[in-house]
Structure 1
Amino acid sequence: MAVFEDFDFGDFWSGSDYERKAYIGEALDDALVQSIERELGYKLPKSYIEFMSFQNGGIPKNSRHKVDVGTSWAEDHLAITGIYGIGRRPDYSLCGEVGSKFMMEEWGYPPIGVYFADTPSGGHDMLCLDFRNAGPDNEPPVVHVAQEDDFKITFVAPNFEKFIRGLRHKDSFPFEND
């Protein structure tokens, strides 16, 4: 059974011109996924691959996620700008110009996994698939990493699926920093 079999993709992505240019990569195939996994040094979670097979990266309409511990963004939530697709292009993809390796090598993010989503901070905090304690099912937790807070790591969701299903519209919470 597919992880996102009951998920409504029709209303998930923004559909903007910027999304198409900056985030959406080519259609996935096994060779591309394996090549990106080799380059990153991690086997991507099945849920992430499945999700990207519907649209390979983009800007979600629902861009907020509740957190139990405050982040550099707010006390009760975080915001994302986009989710990186599996590929080398466009720039906002896992191995793109400002992808996961770039964030570790150029910005000093800790090498704990795969950085897959950016935020409105312009690189000062990111979301990461944290492989430090990934279980046998290879579904690592999602964490928020704050560059300007000495790379503080905050738990967000137990896996990618729960992260995606936990995204809400910005009007869903009484946000402090809007």
Structure 2
Amino acid sequence: MESKIWRDDADEYKLEPLNVAMGKKAQDKLGITLPELYITILKEQNGGSIKFDSYPSDTPNSWADDHVNVNHIRGIGKENSILDSQIRSDFFSK
């Protein structure tokens, strides 16, 4: 199944292809279980800019009154990945 979410142009967020060991290492390092859908998307392409970059929202924010801007998905890797972020482990473990 090929996803149509990824942009085709050069992309600083696109990382080397994801393998099982990388996913396990990220989960161990972050102390969380990553969502299956996230892993499925990263198996198609390990991070990158996405075509559909807005998500509807009822809460106004700094971008707009009716949506949130999401222009890329971070993959799993040594640099420029979710391992660089400070995420709360309780968010993903539920």
Structure number with the bigger relative contact order (C-alpha 8 A, sep ≥ 6) is 2
5+ long unaligned stretches in structure 2: none
Q: Whose Rg is larger?
A: 1
Instruction: Tell me the equivalent position of 2:74.
Output: 84
Instruction: Tell me the equivalent position of 1:16.
Output: 9
- CA offset at residue 13 of structure 1? 1.3
Instruction: Tell me the equivalent position of 2:82.
Output: 94
**C-alpha distance in 2, partners of 1:13/1:30?**
21
TM-score w.r.t. structure 1 length?
0.47
Deviations 1:145-176 (A, max 9, x none): xxxxxxxxxxxxxxxxxxxxxxxxxxxxxxxx
Deviations 1:45-101 (A, max 9, x none): 111101110001010111011001112221100112211012223x2x111xxx313
TM-score w.r.t. structure 2 length?
0.84
**C-alpha distance in 2, partners of 1:23/1:88?**
12
Instruction: Tell me the equivalent position of 1:45.
Output: 35
Aligned counterparts, 1:1-178, within 5 A: 9=3, 11-17=4-10, 19=11, 22-89=12-79, 91=80, 93-95=81-83, 99-101=84-86, 111-113=87-89, 131=91, 134=94
- CA offset at residue 133 of structure 1? 7.5
Count of aligned pairs: 94
Instruction: Indicate the RMSD between aligned Cα atoms, in angstroms.
Output: 2.0
Change (3 A) 1:37 1:29: same
Identity between Structure 1 and Structure 2 (%): 32
